[in-house]
Amino acid sequence: MVQPQFQNQNMFYQEGDTDTTDMDVVNTLKLNPNVAGTPDINEAAIRKAWQDNVKGFMAKGYNQQAAIKMANQRADMARSRVKAAMNQ
């Protein structure tokens, strides 16, 4: 049986940065390796970045409500970027 060829699904690769592999994203963000090679990698990365952003904004002095609002805005922008990259 022939194994299907692994295809990088991360938004950077899909935008043309063929040096950034799914495993690079998994390793950098400490994601579950099972998302590599699937479109789920992008949502997993966005969720991880959202968590990091909330913590970072709060560390800068923003209250939790403001930090969540700003993190949501960034996550929404990232989802739009993923959608555009996948539709190229």
Dmax of the chain from CA atoms? 56
- Mean of per-residue pLDDT scores for the chain: 93
Per mean pLDDT, which of 11-15, 63-67, 81-85 is the most reliable? 63-67
**Percent of the chain residues past pLDDT 90, beyond the cut:** 88
Q: What's the confidence (pLDDT) of residue 1?
A: 54
Residue bearing the bigger pLDDT, 17 or 86? 17
Q: What's the confidence (pLDDT) of residue 5?
A: 67
| Both tokens assigned to 4 | 């299907």
SS (H, E, C) 34-57: HHCCCCHHHHHHHHHHHHHHHHHH
Q: What's the confidence (pLDDT) of residue 86?
A: 87
Helix-, strand-, coil-residue percentages of the chain, each rounded to 5: 65, 0, 35
Compute and round to an integer the Cα radius of gyration of the chain.
15
Render pLDDT for 32-75 as a digit per residue (tens, 0 to 9).
999 999 989 999 999 999 999 999 999 999 999 999 999 999 99
Could you give the CA distance from residue 83 to residue 65 in angstroms, rounded to a whole number? Answer: 27
In terms of residues, how long is the chain? 88
The answer to whether 24 and 37 are in contact (CB under 8 A) is: no
